Amino acid sequence: MTLDVKGKTVLVVDDYQSMRVILKEHLQGFGFTVIEAENGMEGLELARENQLDMIFTDIVMPVMDGLELCQEAKSDASLVNVPIVVLSTHADASYILKAIHNGADDYVAKPIEIRLLEKVIMRLIDGR
Partner 1 sequence: MAGNEPRTIDRMMVKIEHLDRLLGLVGEVIITSNSIATTNRRIQENYDRRLPIDKLSMDMIKIAEESSNRISSDMHSLVMDIRMVEMRGTFQRFRRPVRDMAKEAEKQVELELVGEDTLVDKTISEKLYDPLNHQIRNAMDHGIEDPLERQRAGKSPVATLRLKAYQRENNIFVEIKDDGRGINTDSVVSAAIERGIITQAEADGLSEDEKLKLIFHPGLSTKSTASKISGRGVGMDVVKMNIEELGGEVNIETELGKGTTFTFIIPQVTAVNILDCLTVRAGSNLFAIPILNVVSTVRIASDQVHVAFGQGKSITYLGSIITLFDLNELLDDSPLEERDTLTVVIVESKTGRIALSVSELLTPEKLVYTPLAAMFEVQGISGVTMMSGNKMGLIVDVMELVNRSRGTGRHMDDSSGTSASSVIAGVAGDETTRAGEKTSDGDLASVEAGAEPEEGVGAGGRFSSDGSVTLSSDIGAEISHRDEFLVELEDMVNSAGEKILNLEQVPDDIDLINTIFRDFHSIKGNLMMVGLTELGAFIHEVEAILDRGRSGSLEINSEIIDILLDSTDVIKAAQRDLANGKAPRIDAEQLKNIEKYQKPKEEKKGAVVDIHQRTFHLSSLEQFNLLAHRHSGYNVYQVFLTFEPKYQHPFLVALLILKRISQIGYIFGAVPMVEEIENQDIDNQLKIMFSSNLDVDKLNGYIEDVLVKYYDVTEFEVLKTV
15, 29, 62, 69, 120 from 76: Cα distances, Å: 23, 30, 22, 11, 23
CB closer to partner 1 out of 34 and 109: 109
Which parts of this chain interact with partner 1 (CB under 8 A)? 1, 15-16, 18-19, 21-23, 25-26, 60, 89, 91, 93, 96-97, 100, 105-117, 119, 122-123, 126-127
- Helix H, strand E, coil C: the string for 63-74 is CCCHHHHHHHHH
Q: How far is the CB of 78 from partner 1 (least distance, A)?
A: 20
Q: How far is the CB of 60 from partner 1 (least distance, A)?
A: 5
Q: How far is the CB of 35 from partner 1 (least distance, A)?
A: 19
Are residues 11 and 55 in contact, defined by beta-carbon separation less than 8 angstroms? yes
Residues 119, 112: Cα–Cα separation, whole Å = 12
CB closer to partner 1 out of 35 and 112: 112
